[in-house]
Amino acid sequence: MNGPSPKEGALTKSLMEELRRQNTFEDEETIKNREVVLGRMVALVKNFVFAVSKSRGMSDVVARASGGKIFTFGSYRLGVHGPSDDIDCLLVVPKHVSRDDFFATFLPMLQEAQGVTQVTGVPEAYVPIIKSKISGVEVDFLCARLRLSSIPDDLELADDNLLKTLDERCVRSLGGPRATDEILRLVPNVEVFRDALRCIKLWARRRAIYSKVMGFFGGVAWAMLVARICQLYPNQAAGAIVSRFFTIMHQWKWPQPVLLKPIGDGPLGVKVWNPKLYPKDRLHRMPIITPAYPCTSGKVESKLHQLVLKLEFVESLKLAHPYVKGIERVAHCINDEEVSEVAFNRISDAIINRTQEEAAKESGYRTVSTTAFYIGLAISPKQRGAVGPQKLDITYPTNEFKRICKQWELFDPSVMDLHVTHIKNAQLPNWVFEGGVRPEPKASKRTKPTKTSPTSQSSDLSDMMQRLSLTGSSAPVAAVTPKSTPKPRRARARANTT
């Protein structure tokens, strides 16, 4: 197959310049900071395994030889992370270290580590996780225990036999690094793949459709879609891959699955994606199958996604579209009235500008941590001939959402609460927008899409680059705000929405 034409090469160069202008690459200082953080975590994991091994009665020599290793995965491992992206890490530990040790021993060790400012453990998650912030970098930790007495530094995870006798949570935790490494192995040109994926990620984020837990494609799914186009056009430059991506994905015959390689069997008696055998798999409308065994579609049913699905059945709603990220804030309140206001996501400038040191001097000091999720609601136009005001009743879906969240076994009503409020676009606080600045409304006309072919892609790429150069924020109009009603001093808690 022929390589890129001179025109496509020039467009690829322009595309890369635009991606740099959009700040999708890290500078040297940020890169070095991430490397330093990871270096500390590598040492911390070995100390963690050593401490647990000693508690099991092992000698210093045997405990130190037990090892322990960190594997990165996701956008960082793929080489497409940006300045604000997190690092996904998997801790691989020997058989005498348990998941309970991960939360009971590693978590407090992490809290005391240099540069750590936030640590939150979620042991009951589908894939148990510890979320943290270290020297300004968000780092998520998973843990998998192998049936090995020690974990050497040169361990690789490609061997399917490593999965034998592991529990389901360990198999799921290992799935991230194994899938990421397999994607990189299956693309014909890694650099072209990375450049094209950076562009697609930016496009998806600008359109608020980049979130696995919200029911959209997550990072791995977008990566596999781009990887498939790279396989179909192995000699093309990034610009041509991006342009062909939109053409082919627009014409894809869903629910035909996207596969990077044939689905194979492995050493475990576990379920792999197979719509011929499993009725639930036949319900997947846009299946994208992970390339590492056991092959799955990676579908996630979060509580927020379930709320969105229920809202779409409300009679007077045309569309419910969630904003893909929760907005976390910490408010230093000095009385019960301020706590109540923060609980409903009404945070005044006085609270925003108050420091913890200033608030701590007051007798009614509380620290309240909140996470706000926004769902945009498009209301159906009023029917011709309809009399009276149009009604919007979302009581049932929102009450069901709150009921499900409060059934979480760790939900503590003494320090947690959950509110769903309906607000108009004009009432959104400025701090939900990028940089805290509300964008000016823009009037734009949508052009009717035209059918294109892979042989005429240059104008498509130019149009896409122009769209990418537009900065703006989606404007959600409904807020879902878990809040903490804390005890005296500090209590950090939130409703579990995943």
| Catalytically active residues, by annotation | 75, 86, 88, 140, 201, 210
Is the distance from CB of 184 to CB of 78 less than 8 angstroms? yes
CA distance readout (Å), 102 to 41, 94, 465: 14, 12, 45
**210 has which bridge partners?**
217
Q: How far apart are CA 439 and CA 475, in angstroms?
A: 9
342 contact partners, CB below 8 Å, separation of at least 6: 331, 333, 351, 368, 370, 483
Amino acid at 240: A
Q: How far apart are CA 416 and CA 418, in angstroms?
A: 7
Is the distance from CB of 309 to CB of 216 less than 8 angstroms? no
> Phi/psi zone of residue 442: left (φ > 0), alpha (ψ -120 to 50 degrees), beta?
beta
SS3 content of the chain, % helix, strand, coil (to 5): 40, 15, 45
Torsion 40-43-49-51 (CA) sign = negative
Q: How far apart are CA 1 and CA 7, in angstroms?
A: 17
DSSP letter at 486 equals P
Give DSSP secondary structure letters for 404-451.
Answer: HHHTSTT--TTT-EEEEEE--GGGS-GGGSGGG-PPPP----PPPP--
Q: How far apart are CA 440 and CA 473, in angstroms?
A: 10
Neighbours of 309 (CB within 10 A): 13
